[in-house]
Amino acid sequence: MKPRLSPSTQQHLILTPQLRQAIRLLQLSTAELEAEVADAVASNPLLDWAENTPTEAHDDGNAAPSDADADIAPDTDTRLTDEHWDREADTWQERVGPSGNNDDIDDIEHPAAEETLQDHLLWQLHLGHFSQRDLRLGVALIDAIDDDGYLREALPALLDSLRPELDVNEDEALTVLHRIQQFDPVGVGARDLGECLRLQLQALPHETHGRATAIEITRDLLPRLPKLGVDGVCDIIRCPREEAEAAVHLLRSLDPRPGSQHGVLAEGTYVTPDCVIWRQQGLWRVALASGALPRVSIQRAYQQMIRHAAATDADYLRGRLQEARWLLKGLESRADTLLRVVRCLVREQAAFLEFGPQALHPLTLRQVAETLEMHESTVSRAVARKYVRTPRGTIPLRDFFASGIDTDTGGSASSTAIQDRIRQLVANENPRKPLSDARLADTLKSEGVPVARRTVAKYREALQIPASHERVRIG
């Protein structure tokens, strides 16, 4: 058969620099975002701080305002003034009473809670549907993951250290480990670099250009890739050069240390609310907090210089213009995603805002992701280190999530609601005859929540409530 060339058209999804920037901006806290934008303004002459100036994305006059714009502007409509907020707080106090806890409805910054990678993973672990045995195993595996996100310790040695308290085989451990490897950040829990990159590739859409070839490279060729180069990959895998180039480019775009984004916060770090939730005419409203979306714009003077500049200068300015546009679109995408997630949380957990933790319904990252038709890791990035200002105070978005326990009535109760009920029972107990864990479990069972005594003990310890014999008060 005579060889011949024939053109063809195919659609590929590529992880572009713009998409990677949008993903990175989404997982930043408000303080980190401000620092990121400040660095961009300092290094890019086409960017400048703007006061009430429309962003480049809407300068053409044809694009429709996004949800973020609708909630931010005009200020007198959706962004809260101090007078408006005080009025809403008064209304809340009248409806809910002292339990509403309105001590934190101001604009001051709040100390940030320290969150390590292990904290972030354990939060996701407890939101999943794991048996008690798998939970204990999951905690042990997460505890062995280092700051870079790798499980360096060999599974047999790790399992030996758990015996005899927890006797599990390697297959059981692998099953739990594979579920942990689906947590955010993507690639966490890997045992080597190849597995780390492969986990990140498997999370990409199947139609991503170069994905299949990149996965194959991570299995056998990764250590030799620097010497092989694109030509060597083509010869061994027998794929078109274009496919090999896309695969290598895709591998270079991945994060070899996925856990490094989650570290202990520096001492003295403060947080500011990313969103504001308030009540208006009986409905819950959501808007970005002031300062949550840094206002930057493109310098028109420099943009106009491109047409008249020399070739070298014009190329430089075009590159900076592209970076500026990517940043503005990334900021808009971050705001839109954050608002969509918070609105979903408000819809699902309106009772939590109304009555407090005891009314918190079971809700997981996967449920929110399915509702919004997003990837679970996208929701996790949108929630991580984000805070929202409510009439109940400034709280982290992760407080809107809770794992569930089935009740006798066919519904389910969140672990947070159960903990809050335990706190109430202990607060109202007879100090001379404190309630034991068994008594607390019996009380909860009588209320329709079948909780084992050991589960009550675990929740009590999480609440830092002493055992019953330590709570006895005489006289």
Per-residue confidence (pLDDT) for residue 108, from 0 to 100: 39
Per-residue confidence (pLDDT) for residue 172, from 0 to 100: 92
DSSP 8-state secondary structure symbol assigned to residue 158: H
Indicate the pLDDT class of residue 471, thresholds 50, 70 and 90.
confident
- Residues making up the chain, counted from first to last: 475
**What is the token pair recorded at 75?**
């200020």
pLDDT of 132 > 90? The answer is no
User: Are the C-beta atoms of residues 408 and 450 closer than 8 Å to each other?
Assistant: yes
Higher per-residue confidence, 113 vs 439: 439
The HSE-up count of residue 276 (CA atoms within 13 Å, CB side) is 25
Nearest by Cα to 193 from 257, 143, 248: 257
Other residues' Cβ atoms within 10 Å of the Cβ of residue 320: 20
Per-residue confidence (pLDDT) for residue 14, from 0 to 100: 52
Q: What is the distance of C-alpha 210 from the center of its chain?
A: 27
User: Are the C-beta atoms of residues 426 and 435 closer than 8 Å to each other?
Assistant: yes
Instruction: Tell me the average pLDDT across 444-448.
Output: 83
Per-residue confidence (pLDDT) for residue 2, from 0 to 100: 54
**Report for 92-106, 186-200, 261-275, 351-365: range of highest mean pLDDT:** 186-200
Give the least confident one: 8-12, 318-322, 360-364: 8-12
CA 168 to CA 178: how far, in whole Å? 15
DSSP 8-state secondary structure symbol assigned to residue 150: B
Per-residue confidence (pLDDT) for residue 16, from 0 to 100: 65
Tens of pLDDT, residue by residue over 144-187, are 898 889 998 889 888 888 888 888 999 999 999 999 998 888 89
Instruction: Tell me the average pLDDT across 260-268.
Output: 56
Beta bridge partners of 433: 430
User: Are the C-beta atoms of residues 282 and 129 closer than 8 Å to each other?
Assistant: no
**What is the token pair recorded at 293?**
């979306």
Full-prediction pTM beyond 0.85? no
Higher per-residue confidence, 211 vs 109: 211
Instruction: Tell me the average pLDDT across 410-426.
Output: 75
**What is the token pair recorded at 165?**
């308290």
pLDDT of 113 > 80? The answer is no
Indicate the pLDDT class of residue 412, thresholds 50, 70 and 90.
low
Residue 231: C-alpha distances to residues 5, 42, 273 (Å): 21, 40, 51
Per-residue confidence (pLDDT) for residue 405, from 0 to 100: 59
pLDDT of 54 > 50? The answer is no
Per-residue confidence (pLDDT) for residue 53, from 0 to 100: 43
Percent of the chain at pLDDT above 90?
21
User: Are the C-beta atoms of residues 88 and 280 closer than 8 Å to each other?
Assistant: yes
Give start and end residues of each alpha helix (H) in 97-224. Answer: 117-127, 132-143, 155-162, 170-180, 193-202, 211-220
pLDDT of 11 > 80? The answer is no
Instruction: List the domains of the chain with CATH numbers.
Output: 118-261 (no CATH), 403-470 (1.10.10.60)
Percent of the chain at pLDDT above 70?
77
Per-residue confidence (pLDDT) for residue 13, from 0 to 100: 47
CA 333 to CA 25: how far, in whole Å? 9
pLDDT of 371 > 90? The answer is yes
pLDDT of 60 > 70? The answer is no
Instruction: Tell me the average pLDDT across 48-68.
Output: 45
For the chain, the average pLDDT equals 77
Three-class secondary structure of residue 463 per DSSP: coil
CA 225 to CA 230: how far, in whole Å? 8
